[in-house]
């Protein structure tokens, strides 16, 4: 379900949405009292996943291929944070 918009405009919408959602989620976590950097990284990764699903490119663009690599690294960081949290509870 992607709207037919030129790719450059989609990239602009992607960036604006990602930055806005990332800032809002970080402020919301900070307002609730969650100040751990790991949790903020996971929140930013979730913002990246949401915005990349909302604004995919119309054509295969170079920035999209780099974004796939960034998402892979984000998954690895998220799995590491999850592993650290679970191992802390188990011990």
Query: Residue 11 — very low, low, confident or very high, per pLDDT cuts 50/70/90?
Result: confident
Q: At what angle do helices 62-90 and 37-54 cross, to 10 degrees?
A: 140
20-63 per-position pLDDT tens digit? 998 999 899 999 998 888 888 888 999 999 998 888 877 667 88
Instruction: Kindly report, residue by residue over 63-90, the tens digit of the pLDDT.
Output: 888 888 999 999 998 899 899 989 988 8
Span 45-55, pLDDT tens digits: 999 999 988 88
State phi, psi for 45 to the nearest 5 degrees: -65, -40
Decide: pTM greater than 0.95. Answer: no
Q: How far is CA 87 from CA 60, 81, 82, in A?
A: 40, 10, 8
Spatial contact of 57 and 10, defined as CB atoms under 8 Å apart? yes
CB atoms within 10 A of CB 57: 20
């Amino acid at each position: 379900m992607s709207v037919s918009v030129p790719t450059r405009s989609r990239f602009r919408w992607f960036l604006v949405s990602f930055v806005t959602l990332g800032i809002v989620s970080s402020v919301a976590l900070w307002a609730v009292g969650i100040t751990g950097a790991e949790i903020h990284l996971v929140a930013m990764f979730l913002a990246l996943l949401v915005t990349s699903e909302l604004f995919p490119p119309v054509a295969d663009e170079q920035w999209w291929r780099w974004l796939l690599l960034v998402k892979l690294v984000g998954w690895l960081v998220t799995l590491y944070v999850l592993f650290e949290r679970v191992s802390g509870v188990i011990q």
